[in-house]
Chains A and B, each alone.
Chain A
Amino acid sequence: MSMSQQQVQEHMMTYLESTECRIIEKSPWHVTVKLSPQADKQLTNRPYYWGFVERTGVEPETLSFTFVFDPEQYDKKEQLNASQQPQQDSILSRYFGTAPMVPQIGPGRIQREDVVYGSSRLQQIWNAARQEGSCLYLFEQPAALQRETLFSAAYEPWLGICYKVEMACDVKKEELHFVGISLVTGRIVSPFPERLRGLALSPRLPENIHIQPASISLPQAASLLEGYMTRLLAEMDYGWAEQARERLNEELAVIDIYYEDLLKEPDEEKLAAIREQYSNRRSETTWQYEPKVHLSVITCGLFHLRSIR
């Protein structure tokens, strides 16, 4: 899957806005932004500077960037601006001559950076987002009416987990599964985002609600979800793994034949070296081809959702 410039820009803006960066200028092709301290720490790789700020308590000076999403359009526009610039300065230059434009450096300098799918900057914000959003605790925000009703609304706690499944041998394939389990009923919902669709979620505890007591503990819920995932995985097509094993066995057979004669070496010392080589080569090959499945978690959290009766 690839991404359009539009999507890249959306991702970037989501990050910048949720980390409370100050947008200075924006066009369909670019955004100029002064980073918030949080974003600066995550993106600019200046641990010493931030260490200095924390120790001395000085006012931090965060960096500014111009992120360009459509370099072609942006350059065109910039050129247009630049060509109009000198005319405005004609009176000054008549008296002082045209001074060459000095590139701005030091504080206040705004670095330009092109951001497209595949840019390391985009990877970086995804990774930062993953770190920042790894553990959640959220409440469904009720409509305005709820505050005025007499009865408090019942809220059901859910454990939601976004799993990443990696199927690997000498090649690899991945899947994402976002699943949720109710801590009250034990009902499992997949994909969980469909249950969340249209809901406003926020860490703020809404007024006039009560949370139903959980009948399932967190560890229980976790193992139930794991069981669910395992069953899901067990039903997958494992043709890829069979093929990988075939390749593995072929490779091992080739190695075995090669070393068969060599292992008849009479000299003890040489033989030991050959044995070691042989077992290394075998284990390397297994490492390379052996099929395996890896299950990890992108994000997890407790979601308090209004019970549906």
Chain B
Amino acid sequence: MNTSQPSASGQPQELPVPLHIDRSWIEQLNSRLEKGGPWGDWRLAQLAIQGEEARLVTSFDELQCLKHLQGLSPLPHQLDTAHRVLFEMSGRAILADEVGLGKTIEAGMILKEYMIRGLVSKVLILVPASLVLQWVRELNSKFGIPAVAQKKAYTWHSDVVVASIDTAKRDPHKDFLLEQEYDMLIIDEAHKLKNKKTTNYQFIQKLRKKYCLLLTATPVQNDMSELFNLITLLKPGQLGRQGDFATNFVVGKRQPKNQDQLKDELAKVMIRNRRGEGPVHFTKRHVSNVNLQLSPEEQALYDGVTAFVKDQYKASGGNLSSMLSLVTLQREVCSSRDAVFLTLVNLSKKIPDESPLTAKVWELVNAIRAIKANTKAEKTIELIKQMNEKVIVFTEYRATQEYLLQYFQKHGLICVPYRGGMNRGKKDWMMDLFRGRAQVMIATEAGGEGINLQFCHHMINFDLPWNPMRVEQRIGRVHRLGQQKDVQIYNLSTSGTIEEHILHLLHEKINMFEMVIGGLDVILEHFEKQESLEKSLYKMFLESDSNEEIRQKVSNLGQTLDQIKRQVEVDYESTSMREEEA
């Protein structure tokens, strides 16, 4: 025990750093002395001290957060990343891991660590609108961080707010946010901030922030200057002045020079873990296409609908936007008669009674009546009984989902539905049921809402979305980090229908079912500069007169995509080569 007499001078010595002393306790103690209480409990005071001791950050450079995170076992590259960002990059970094390596986990760990250390309390997280809830949920459940989704103006006052960047930059939010000081700013999908002139970029530049994490899987998409802009947002000057950067590091638009030097500079602000490095292992995807022959009745309905849709398109003078509900009809007819029926009924309500269309619609409804069995559903049951394991069945349509639920239950399968309209509680419940007793989950929704079904490795595409990203999202539900087994994917298609062409395009041409995760978005982004793939397909389909013509056009489209894919692969390899050389 040290004892000391107060020094005679009583002069406080100078510290080499500013010292801030919180003296509010004196007032508290005095006021209680005056009032004669209330006085605290000694056991609780000791508990408080022990609690502080238990949480004490005793070292400047050692990760504390792991001890606080139960049930999270980060992968080595994630740990390494968190460590580097905290202790080498001082909390300003671009996390540029390839898709699927867990950037969110890394960002969560870094945030948690700063919060434990008491260096961060006010946090703003800007993400695309579709990811807001997912972020909130992950931060809450995996990291115990009380994040709040921005909904009303007052939510901005919460300590940890997740919002979409498009909301944040608008009035009246913008002015409020620019007045704040954020201990930490996290931006997901940061490659959208590649252009200095956009309002998003300028807004982020103006926000006051201490630590800052930018998350992107594709730090360079078209142009080296994008990278420069991104880094300027984080640490202006890290790559020198704009002019210096151009002369020192850039040859062509996408061609860097002085790679060693550039790599050294980049390593100070950016961490890029690559797939295939380290122990991150993805299982394989096995794809089987199940080709079915429609029954004569089903074929009749299909032909009827096709003719109907084409007639309408011609009548409308090739106006695509007014055709959307009819195109839907065309897609639905590949799924189930129930789906078509519902759309037809809605359609007949909209058209006036005396219109000649009414007769045609009822003709189709009668064609539906003639159908007694669903070829695809029968095949699905057969498949499920064969595999005798958990399986998720995806369909695009509510009506098909309902039909399948009934049909499967009738055949003694325990199945649960899952759709976007369910609230969170119900979704979680359905997932739990699927994890437990149910053998089959029938889902209409795959994206955004983060359903993770690593315990299941069979999936059946009852029908196919025309947007490849949605197909990828479906697969991503089961084929992700943590999946132990190879994933079996079954695609149902019926010969002689549009579906056959779509499957042909996705499978044979883009080979998307077996592609490494993450390549697809880049390809699509390049392709969809002119027009979305889905729309191109609609047009192609509506404007072709024969099956042969469609085949030809789809084949051309496939070639275009293939070219883009090759280009992307070349770029990818050359950058990784460069990185390896360096």
Give A contacts to B, CB under 8 Å. 1-3, 7, 11, 14-15, 17-19, 116-120, 122-123, 125-130, 132-138, 161-162, 164, 166, 168, 170-176, 178, 186-191, 194-195, 201-203, 218-219, 222-224, 226-228, 230-231, 233-234, 238, 240-241, 247, 251, 254-262, 277, 280-281, 284, 287-302
Contacts and interface: CB of A to CB of B under 8 A. Distances in A.
B52 A126 contact: yes
Given A130-B51, A188-B5, 13 more contacts: A18-B44, A123-B55, A129-B45, A133-B43, A162-B49, A168-B119, A187-B5, A189-B2, A203-B39, A223-B10, A230-B12, A234-B14, A247-B90
A258 B205 CA distance: 15
Nearest to B21: A295
9 contacts: A17-B43, A135-B40, A161-B25, A256-B237, A258-B232, A262-B241, A277-B205, A291-B17, A292-B17
Interface stretch (B29-37, B300-308, B521-529): B29-37
Nearest to B13: A234
A188 B118 CA distance: 30
A120 to B, nearest CB: 5
A222 to B, nearest CB: 5
Nearest to B238: A254
A116 B72 CA distance: 13
Contact of B61 (A171, A176, A292, A300): A171
Nearest to A219: B26
Contact of B236 (A7, A135, A164, A259): A259
A267 to B, nearest CB: 16
A261 B25 contact: no
Given A126-B55, A172-B117, A133 B25 contact: no
Nearest to B210: A288
Given A1-B56, A222-B26, A301 B236 contact: no
A133 B44 contact: yes
Contacts of B383: none
Tell which of B21, B61, B67, B181 has the most Cβ of chain A within 10 Å: B21
A297 B67 CA distance: 25
Contacts of B59: 173
Contacts of B238: 254
Given A173-B59, A174-B56, A231 B48 contact: no
B154 interface: no
Tell which of B17, B69, B87 has the most Cβ of chain A within 10 Å: B17
B4 A129 contact: no
A168 B20 CA distance: 11
Tell which of B10, B40, B117, B240 has the most Cβ of chain A within 10 Å: B40
A171 B87 contact: yes
B578 interface: no
B17 A1 contact: no
Contact of A133 (B13, B47, B68): B47
Contacts of A176: 49, 52-53, 56
Interface of B: 1-7, 10-26, 28-30, 32-33, 37, 39-61, 67-70, 86-87, 90-92, 117-119, 144, 146, 181, 205-206, 208-211, 232, 235-238, 240-241, 243
B208 A172 contact: no
Contacts of B1: 189-191, 194-195
What 6 A-B pairs have minimum CB-CB distances, sorted nearest first? Answer: A133-B45, A126-B51, A258-B237, A118-B68, A130-B48, A133-B44
B60 A299 contact: no
A278 to B, nearest CB: 9
A261 B57 contact: no
A178 B51 CA distance: 14
Contacts of B14: 234
Contacts of A230: 12-13, 15, 19
Contact of A234 (B15, B32, B235): B15
B51 A292 contact: no
A293 B13 CA distance: 14
B208 A178 contact: no
A120 B44 CA distance: 18
Contacts of A288: 90-92, 210-211
B48 A298 contact: yes
A190 B6 CA distance: 13
Contact of B57 (A172, A190, A203, A281): A172
Contacts of A175: 56, 58
B6 A2 contact: no
Given A134-B40, A170-B90, A258-B240, A227 B10 contact: yes
A121 B232 CA distance: 41
A291 B243 CA distance: 34
Given A18-B41, A257-B241, A301-B29, A173 B51 contact: no
Contacts of B70: 116-119
A172 B119 contact: yes
A261 to B, nearest CB: 6
Nearest to A261: B241
Contacts of A129: 44-45, 47-48, 51
Contact of A238 (B16, B91, B117, B146): B16
B49 A298 contact: yes
A132 B55 CA distance: 18
A126 B119 contact: no
B55 to A, nearest CB: 7
Given A118-B69, A277-B205, A292 B22 contact: no
Nearest to B59: A173
A295 B17 CA distance: 13
Contacts of A162: 49, 52
B30 A1 contact: no
Contacts of B49: 162, 176, 178, 298-299
Contact of B48 (A133, A187, A302): A133
Contacts of B15: 230, 233-234, 293
Contacts of A3: 54
Nearest to B50: A11
Nearest to A197: B1
A3 B92 CA distance: 31
B37 A189 contact: no
A218 B60 contact: no
Contacts of A255: 236-237
Contacts of A258: 232, 236-237, 240-241
Contact of A14 (B43, B67, B117): B43
Given A132-B41, A301-B29, A117 B54 contact: yes
B58 A173 contact: yes
Contacts of A293: 15, 17-20
A194 B61 CA distance: 31
B3 A132 contact: no
A171 B86 contact: yes
Contacts of A189: 1-3
Contacts of B10: 223-224, 227
B47 A11 contact: yes
Contact of B29 (A194, A203, A218): A218
B460 to A, nearest CB: 31
Given A133-B46, A240-B60, A227 B236 contact: no
A287 B210 contact: yes
Contacts of B52: 126, 130, 162, 164, 176, 298
Contact of B42 (A136, A164, A219, A256): A136
Contacts of A172: 57, 60, 117-119
A118 B64 CA distance: 10
Contacts of B241: 257-258, 260-262
